[in-house]
Homo-oligomer: A and B are copies of this chain.
């Protein structure tokens, strides 16, 4: 069985955008699978007393982050257009990503939402935009949105968010390998190293 890293992301998270576009290729090169795990930073930030993104609350942090995003996106060849609204809390998109996390189109959907938010400045909280991205990845948008907003899907997503908090996630993106958390897109290589090492141990090598 191939090792897997869980990729935990919030669609409002800036640094998760380039990470979402990097994770699959980097993992595939190491023989590692990716599990897509959407969550919400809101409860985690609220526990720290923050009612807004720390990048808005602390101007120096925000200025650094936007410049850093420019450099990272340029290095990855990704377009970046600073969203006119930040952060965009996109619960419907998170629920879709949670409900359909095991579908083969899950990654394409996640990347489509990130691109809409950070490259096109579209309102990813809007059902129309979510439906448009679903259509682009070849999915029946109305049926998918109906399934993602059914009570059991809402409950499952809520449980996934609670799980993130209980596990000790402190930000996004986070890579999780077994009990180990690696916070930040720049920790992808280390997470993959760990996944391969852990797998080697499991296989008794």
Contacts and interface: CB of A to CB of B under 8 A. Distances in A.
A168 interface: yes
A194 B169 CA distance: 31
A202 to B, nearest CB: 18
Given A186-B184, A186-B186, A186-B187, A170 B47 contact: no
Contacts of A64: 168, 170, 181, 183
Nearest to A182: B68
Nearest to A54: B48
Nearest to A75: B190
Contacts of A187: 186
Nearest to A44: B60
A61 interface: yes
A159 interface: no
Q: Which of A47, A169, A186 has the most chain B CB atoms closer than 10 A to its own CB?
A: A186
A173 to B, nearest CB: 14
Nearest to A194: B71
B168 A60 contact: yes
Contacts of A48: 57-58, 61
Nearest to A174: B64
A63 interface: yes
Contact of A61 (B60, B170, B194): B170
Contact of A63 (B168, B180, B194): B168
A66 B149 CA distance: 39
A32 to B, nearest CB: 18
A170 B182 CA distance: 21
A174 to B, nearest CB: 9
18 contacts: A44-B60, A47-B60, A48-B58, A60-B168, A60-B169, A60-B170, A61-B170, A63-B168, A64-B168, A64-B170, A67-B180, A68-B182, A68-B183, A71-B180, A184-B186, A186-B186, A186-B187, A186-B190
Ranked nearest first, the 4 interchain pairs of A and B with the lowest CB-CB distance are A186-B186, A48-B58, A60-B170, A61-B170
